[in-house]
Amino acid sequence: KRRLRGDINISEGLILGRERNYLSLVSSCFQEQLRLKAQVRLLEYRVKQQQVKIVRILQEKEIQYRDSGDENSVIDLGEKRQYADCAEIYNDGHKRSGFYKMKPLQSPSEFLAYCDMSEGGGWTVFQRRSDGSQKFDRVWADYEQGFGNFVLRNGEYWLGNKNLHYLTNQGNYTLRIDLSDFEGERRYAQYKSFRVADEESSYQLSCGEYSGTAGDSLTGGFHPEVKWWADHRGMKFSTQDRDNDNYEGNCAEEDTAGWWFNRCHTSNLNGVYYKGPYTAKTDNGIVWYTWHGWWYSLKSVVMKVRPADFEPNVV
Ligand SMILES: [Ca+2]
């Protein structure tokens, strides 16, 4: 067979062409590799940035946790001195909020209570609601002795009617109730001359004049016609197993809380932690009627006392 020049040229051309293709393929592969390497570097950089961000977010979260009270807040002052309440502790130079040991004058034993050293300082907290972590639907003995978390800053607890009696019978105490809702609003109610009687009187409540921003839901003072059934003053403490209310039924059982129920209430701060608006058979949420009515359960509650004649000692 004759080979034609053209044929050779054509096939050589094809071969050369293939080689060129091959070379250009190699170079484009190389370029692709460079491009990918650059992309990898970029992605590595972004991952690093994200990691830095994650570390920062975790740190922020940790701080938030700390702020939200997820930490041990017990402050041990040793046995040097005995304190009757948080006001004495404050004026002895201890201005950090936390749980301190105290022993009111008539109290047979010491107990821990949270001292709120804000708002002028010296407040002894006897009740806290913050997240629904503690069960408040409890019997007489529990409410008498106290229950809940006495370690965490935002721990939910009831100090105990016995301790509350010893605490408030040392003198003239002011009651302050701090409330907050799920919309981020805060209100308070304050009462003069707050006192809880002894066991024989079933820890009967007495308090004086109201002031504040949440309205008067403890003495029914917001309307004269509600007083006969909503005034909690003079009421004995009631629990599911100890009915001391003015109602034919059992308020504590129906409203699943221990409280100074009348017939039954315009405040039920030991109620069920529902988180805002709720529906139930009875108004058994954490209720402060004059602020959010019976069908809204509050986000947080702090009930605290301080001597009426308290003067912050500026050390
Ligand atoms: Ca009854």
258 CA from centroid of ligand 1 (Å): 13
pLDDT tens-digit readout, 226-274:
888 889 999 999 999 999 999 999 999 999 999 999 999 999 999 999 9
- Judge if the upstream peptide bond of residue 264 is cis by omega within 30 degrees of 0: yes
Q: Which residue has the tokens 């170079």?
A: 27
251 CA from centroid of ligand 1 (Å): 6
Asked if 311 and 121 touch (Cβ cutoff 8 Å), the reply is no
The residue among 288, 301, 268, 265 whose CA lies nearest residue 216 is 288
pTM of the model: 0.78
266 CA from centroid of ligand 1 (Å): 16
Secondary structure element (H or E) that encloses residue 305, with its range: strand 300-307
The two tokens of residue 212 are: 């504040």
More confident residue, 221 or 150: 150
DSSP state of 303: E
Residues comprising the chain, all counted:
315
242 CA from centroid of ligand 1 (Å): 9
Residues 101 and 63: their CA atoms lie apart, in Å, by: 27
221 CA from centroid of ligand 1 (Å): 23
247 CA from centroid of ligand 1 (Å): 4
pLDDT tens-digit readout, 140-182:
999 999 999 999 999 999 999 999 999 999 999 999 999 999 9
